[in-house]
Structure 1
């Protein structure tokens, strides 16, 4: 069955067009903005790609960050996409597609960590942990690490905290320290800007700065806390499979953070197999329409159209 898979993020989207002969092509696209209706944006991306390639598809599968209950309307998406040849749609929060990408059909936990972070656990049930946004949650995310780095820099500047290389690094990144807070607060892209400082924190930690090392280690502890909470809420118990993995650059590219995370998870959950993701997030989107109806994950996937109940 021909399928268009859409991995819609707030900084950019990825689309995969898979044809009946099994061939596929991946495409970059603009972000899906969650401060406006998301389904029309998905249809617009599909129309643009399919018009440019001359293809039609039978199925559209979509994984979206920040997907709300109001936006999770597969019937509306199917109606809007019927003119493209679509007969079936599958729609889910990106924590679900992250889990499928990382763990496939294994029982386990995925930590999807980028600018923000959300953790999803699947065992006898399912449990989502954190993902509460930069104001109230996202513990261990790039924003969380970047903010902690700026906080440490300002404390060092004031004399309230330890001396740290982060002070000079923050001044280089954001400008003169006495005006840093005003400059960042006035920046409409401040969340991304602060999250971007996480890379600097990681580099400074790799250089042996004690303050930066503690921030990275604290982030690993926060992510581990979410894994433990999620596994228990999802009904996992000793003696059963638990595959713990991750998607996103925070754990994917930060060696110290990943190493510490693995150590802490194994210490907390000795039976867990902590392993790299099996695939990429777009692979997880492709699998949405194939999830076993008996899986607890299935109830988090909204489907409509031909054979959607099967």
Structure 2
């Protein structure tokens, strides 16, 4: 089967939403390659439309109506750029889909049918679209590390997920985890307790002011995870000369590798690391490569080929071509309107 229309990809995250489209007829996936970045990838046809407003979460979870308020004008703008009038398929990847996606699953497919007559819709956790963007359709694992941290893997039969439980219960090794550990070491130095770091205390005071005032600044805020993560680069900057900071990053690497081991298929496969935490550089990446080689020797570390928006387009192109490859899972990847569902 070969569609001649367009597919829409949506990447909804904590900092906003991105929308892009691809021309389905330009991508013949039948018998094609199965690696993102090869001939089977439906890359963006035009520059994405970006909204800086995150989709609201209400009592029922992610609000379908608020997403549509942003999706509808973005989609019309994208179609106007190419002279199109509809979509063969849509894939929405959203942060929190696994635990907060009930309203989205219940309402969004119907809203898309009424707006454009879309008959094939995929709703995915953002970790799944990150996986598709990074590795394409191969078995393997992807760890997305930013403020938080989550790992997903698949053998193309079922999905595995590890962590992603938020900064209070998990996200071990992520940006908020590193930042919190660095701030704790700074406060230990302030108190004169063992395990403190004078270097990190100096960084804390430069960033936040007097140490004794930091709890009053931090605890009342609703964006505590982001504030904690903002200190992770300071930990990285100290790591070359401060053994406490270096130890925090080594421990973060052990946690990230452990998450990788939990989701990697038993037979191994490719592993990609994605997310803003990688910008910390070699002070994190060198111990992380070592830990992955020890904890997941069956895995082969590869660079990510693309991002979650690329992954959403790839999954949408699968639906348009009637060639699903990823396993369905009600909380990881659910598909509506597909003949085999």
TM over 0.5: yes
- Report the 3-state secondary structure (helix = DSSP H, G, I; strand = E; otherwise coil) of the residue aligned with 2:86: coil
Question: Residue 182 of structure 1: CA displacement?
Answer: 1.0
- Report the 3-state secondary structure (helix = DSSP H, G, I; strand = E; otherwise coil) of the residue aligned with 2:67: helix
Asked if 1:192 is matched to 2:226, the reply is yes
Question: Residue 94 of structure 1: CA displacement?
Answer: 0.8
Question: Residue 274 of structure 1: CA displacement?
Answer: 0.8
Unaligned runs of 5+ in 2: 27-44
User: In the TM superposition, what are the counterparts of 1:234-245 in structure 2 within 5 Å?
Assistant: 236-237=265-266, 240-245=267-272
User: In the TM superposition, what are the counterparts of 1:24-173 in structure 2 within 5 Å?
Assistant: 24-29=46-51, 30-35=53-58, 37-53=62-78, 54=80, 56-58=85-87, 59-67=89-97, 68=99, 70-71=101-102, 73-74=104-105, 76-81=107-112, 82-123=114-155, 124-160=157-193, 161-173=195-207
C-alpha separation in 2, matches of 1:86 and 1:4: 10
User: In the TM superposition, what are the counterparts of 1:157-306 in structure 2 within 5 Å?
Assistant: 157-160=190-193, 161-205=195-239, 207-231=240-264, 236-237=265-266, 240-289=267-316, 290=318, 293=324, 295-296=326-327, 300-305=332-337
CA contact (8 A) 1:5 1:60 kept: yes
The normalised TM-score by structure 1 is 0.89
Deviations 1:228-271 (A, max 9, x none): 1223xxxx33xx34111111011254322122111111122223
Aligned twin of 1:10: 14
Unaligned runs of 5+ in 1: none
Identify which range, 284-293 or 5-14, moves more after superposition.
Answer: 284-293
C-alpha separation in 1, matches of 2:235 and 2:242: 9
How many aligned residue pairs are there?
Answer: 302
The normalised TM-score by structure 2 is 0.81
Identify which range, 97-106 or 42-51, moves more after superposition.
Answer: 42-51
